[in-house]
Amino acid sequence: MPAPLMQIETSTTLPDHADCVVIGAGIIGVSTAYWLARTGQRVVLLEKGRVGAEQTSRNWGWCRQQNRDARELPLSTVSLRLWEEMAADIGEDLGFRRCGLLYLSDNPAEIDGWDRWGRFARGEGVDTHMLSAAEAAERGQATGKPWMGGVWSPTDGTADPSRAAPLIAKGVMQHGGTVLQFCAARGIETSGGAVSAVITERGVIRTKNLVLSGGAWAASFLHQSGISFPQASVRSSILSVAPGAEGLPAALHTSAVSVTRRGDGGHTLAISGRANLDPTPGAILSARQFLPMFANRWRVLSPGGPQAWQAGFETRRKWALDHRTPMEQMRILDPRPSERLIRETLRRARALLPALRDVPVQATWAGYIDSTPDGVPVIDADIGIAGLTLAAGLSGHGFGIGPGVGHLVADLLLGRTPITETAQYRLARFDAAQWGKVAGF
């Protein structure tokens, strides 16, 4: 685990029945299980590897409303409140801080875009402020350069990717739920067209409700039941530097590089949007549906290599439920970062922020960001099998909105009034072309 991750102890005993089984213990899975367990549901959360070990612990940690697509903004807003509520209930520090997010730019078109978004968002109750050149220079004084303008979103913040999911999983257990690590779900058993059981590598759990929050693995798992979910992943490369740089904003975005203060006093460095596209069977078979996304993103994507194909998480082959599956052969997706992108990120960061020039690199890592054709997640309880709910395709936005997504899934399962609208998250929307619908993030 090159990306820092808190490790926790969980159950080793597989229950024989549950009110609901949740597959995948990233931020979406742990949040879903938490909100269900908090209502008294008998929840079993299954993780093939370690809680939070894949993309959930490999992201920047931003929890933002700023520049969100309108379809995700309500979830973003409610999630900020839920981060605080969950931490208070669990009694643990999830690393969530409303530290504010700072965006700086010398590009008039980019600033105009932020201004248009801000006028819309303020109408939705979001606290976001355009910065003049003088205000941008003041807030961005750590860069030692003037700026044309920027944005300051004071109520947005960050949480700790290394701690959040494991601690929320502890919250699941505090409320009576069961969490199992190194226990892969192999498939679904149905009766009369409805979920009746989940088959795991350790045995069978009888249940009428299943939530699939398997991240990059979701499409291949659904393929086993004849359900098509267009999903493709890109490999993002990130690094962290050791503590020692003082006076930097807690969370800063520029077109050159983005910088986030870590819980240990170090900083995470990344270039927004830059990633490697590793070919996979799933991506190839979904290529037509992803054309609008590719047309929007091709400038920031670079050709990748065979890592993803070899890892098997986007396979479209069928597997037997009484043999080892790809999830058991690849417990934790831990791809090699792009050395070229890591060097470029570090060079840009040190050029932009003098305080980073003598601070050593702490760690480098990569992760697979799973995306949908429009860059908006699927959160849907009506995908073809009664009792099966899909919450995946978070498209690089899942960490910040995870608490809200989990609450929304619990709402759907419990028949409560949903915490936000749901129509924009339906799987069936991909039956139509996505031209003009790709999220602008």
User: What's the rounded mean pLDDT across residues 217-244?
Assistant: 96
Q: How far apart are CA 140 and CA 103, in angstroms?
A: 9
User: What's the rounded mean pLDDT across residues 336-341?
Assistant: 97
Nearest alpha-carbon partner for 201 in 102, 286, 321, 283: 321
Q: How far apart are CA 252 and CA 291, in angstroms?
A: 31
Half-sphere exposure of 431 (CA within 13 A, CB side): 6
Q: Which of 21-30, 56-65, 169-178, 431-440 has the lowest mean pLDDT?
A: 431-440
Is the predicted pLDDT of residue 440 greater than 90, yes or no?
no
Task: Record the tokens describing residue 334, joined without a space.
Answer: 């831990």
Q: How far apart are CA 179 and CA 202, in angstroms?
A: 14
Q: What proportion of the chain, given as a percentage, has pLDDT over 70?
A: 99
Q: Does pTM surpass 0.95?
A: yes
Please report how the helices 27-38 and 398-414 are oriented relative to each other, as an axis angle in degrees rounded to 10. 40
What local confidence, expressed as pLDDT, does residue 415 receive?
Answer: 96
What local confidence, expressed as pLDDT, does residue 329 receive?
Answer: 96
At 436, the pLDDT band (50, 70, 90 cuts) reads confident
Residue for token pair 């791809």: 335
What local confidence, expressed as pLDDT, does residue 392 receive?
Answer: 98
Is the predicted pLDDT of residue 4 greater than 90, yes or no?
no
Q: How far apart are CA 291 and CA 384, in angstroms?
A: 26
Q: Is the dihedral of CA 141, 144, 150, 154 positive or negative?
A: negative
Q: How far apart are CA 404 and CA 393, in angstroms?
A: 15
Is the predicted pLDDT of residue 172 greater than 80, yes or no?
yes
- DSSP letter assigned to residue 97: B
3-state secondary structure of 128: coil
Nearest alpha-carbon partner for 256 in 388, 103, 38, 54: 103
Q: How far apart are CA 368 and CA 57, in angstroms?
A: 11
Nearest alpha-carbon partner for 68 in 417, 294, 396: 396
Q: How far apart are CA 419 and CA 404, in angstroms?
A: 8
pLDDT digits (tens, 9 = 90+) for 23-70: 999 999 999 999 999 999 999 999 999 999 999 999 999 999 999 999
pLDDT digits (tens, 9 = 90+) for 258-303: 999 999 999 999 999 999 999 999 989 999 999 999 888 888 899 9
Is the predicted pLDDT of residue 1 greater than 70, yes or no?
no
What local confidence, expressed as pLDDT, does residue 343 receive?
Answer: 98
The answer to whether the beta carbons of residues 142 and 248 sit under 8 Å apart is: yes
User: What's the rounded mean pLDDT across residues 103-114?
Assistant: 97
Q: How far apart are CA 45 and CA 405, in angstroms?
A: 16
Q: Which of 1-15, 168-182, 183-197, 402-416 has the lowest mean pLDDT?
A: 1-15
- DSSP letter assigned to residue 49: S
DSSP string, 144-159: -S--SEEEEETT-EE-
Q: What proportion of the chain, given as a percentage, has pLDDT over 90?
A: 94
- Ordered alpha helix ranges (H), 298-427: 307-311, 326-329, 339-352, 398-414
Is the predicted pLDDT of residue 116 greater than 80, yes or no?
yes
